[in-house]
Structure 1
Amino acid sequence: MARSLDGRVLSPVADQAPGQVGTATRFVYHEEEGRIWAEYEGGDVVRGHLVGTRAGDRLDFRYVQLKRDGGTSSGHCLSTVVDLPDGRVRLDETWEWESQEGRGTSVVEEVRS
């Protein structure tokens, strides 16, 4: 199993569409006994939260966010945790909005300290 996400800060490696997370967004992850959660903000996102579960290297979570324009959005994401050679972690994600149309894939990596 990949290392714990607890206390790690991750960021997308590429920008998504306007109003979504992007390279300026920072996720602070927490993990305990198969449960995961994170707070995130930055770029077009004023505040976001995700909650879910972890089984091995797979994450299954829901997210909700408040955008700079005052709108809110929510969705579902499945991620695979990958240990990188330099000791950081990467999440390979497949996501889908539940509050609006849209789906896609993204990659977030631990920010170098």
Structure 2
Amino acid sequence: MARSLDGLTLAPVADQAPGQVGTRTRFAYREQDGTVWADYAGGDVVRGHLVGTREGDRIDFRYVQLGRDGTTSSGHCVSDVVALPDGRIRLVETWEWESQPGSGTSVVEELGA
């Protein structure tokens, strides 16, 4: 199993559609006893929160966010936790909006020291 996400800052490796998470978004992760949560902001996202559970190297969570345009959105995501050769963490994510149409995949990685 890859190491804990607790205290890590991760960022997307590519931009999503306008008004969504992008390369300027930063996720501040916490993890304790199988529970995972994070606050995130940056780019088109004013504020976002996620909460879920981790079993092994799989995270299942729900997220809500406020966009710069004043809209709120929510969805569901399942992420695979991958340990990179340099020791950093990568999350390979499959997500789906629940408040609007849309779904996709994304990758976020731990920022280097």
Q: Give your verdict on TM over 0.5.
A: yes
Which residue of 2 is the match for residue 30 of structure 1?
Answer: 30
Aligned to 1:58: 58
**Correspondence list, 1:1-113, <5 A:** 1-113=1-113
TM-score by length of 1: 0.99
Mapped to 1, the partners of 2:23 and 2:112 lie a distance apart of: 13
By how many angstroms is 1:84 displaced?
Answer: 0.5
Partner-residue secondary structure (3-state), 1:2? coil
Letter matched to residue 37 of structure 2? W
Question: Alpha-carbon deviation of 1:80?
Answer: 0.2
User: CA separation in 2, counterparts of 1:100 and 1:84?
Assistant: 33
Counterpart AA for 1:41: A
Runs of 4+ in 1 over 6 A off after TM superposition: none
CA–CA separation in structure 2 for the residues paired with 1:66 and 1:27: 14
| Alignment RMSD (CA, Å) | 0.4
Structure 1, unmatched stretches of 5+, are: none
Q: Percent identity?
A: 77
Deviation string, structure 1 residues 50-69 (Cα, Å, up to 9, x no partner): 00000000000000000001
Shift in Å, 1:24: 0.1
Q: What SS does structure 2 have at the residue aligned with 1:87? A: coil
Gaps of 5+ in 2: none
